[in-house]
Amino acid sequence: YPNPYRPGSGGNFDNTMFGAGIVFESLPARSKIKIYSLSGALVAEVSDDDGDGRCLWNTRNKDGSRAASGVYLYVVSADTGKKNGRIAIIR
C-alpha cells in the first residue's frame, strides 16, 4: 500500500507513515522482494532485514532514479515459498 502510489497527491495514495514509497506488509520474516517492469527488467530489490514482516520500496530504480509511472510486477520470496502481484505508480 498504497496501490496505486501517487506521490505528492496529498491523499490516501501518497506517502505512508513509514516514509515515501510503497509498503509491503504481513510478509514472512526475512522476505526478499524483486520488482520488475512489465518487460521483465529488474527494477529494484528490497528485503525485510529486521524480520518485522514489512518492507518499504522507495520507488527508485537500482541506479537511484525515480521509477516511471506504470505497472510493476513484484515477487516475494521467503522460506515458505513465493508470491507475486502487481503495483502501480502514477506520477
The yes-or-no verdict on residue 20 having pLDDT over 90 is no
> C-alpha cell of 62?
537500482
Q: What is the mean pLDDT of residues 45-60?
A: 94
CA dihedral defined by 76, 82, 31, 89, rounded to 10 degrees? 10
Its pTM stands at: 0.88
Averaged over 40-55, what is the pLDDT?
95
Q: How confident is the model at residue 50 (pLDDT cuts 50, 70, 90)?
A: very high
**Signed CA dihedral, 37, 40, 43, 47: sign only:** positive
Pairing label, strands 70-78, 32-37: antiparallel
Which helix (H) or strand (E) is 9 found in, with range?
Answer: none
Contact at 8 Å (CB) between 85 and 25? no
Q: Give me the pLDDT at residue 13, please.
A: 62
The pLDDT of residue 32 is 97
The pLDDT of 57-71, averaged and rounded, is 95
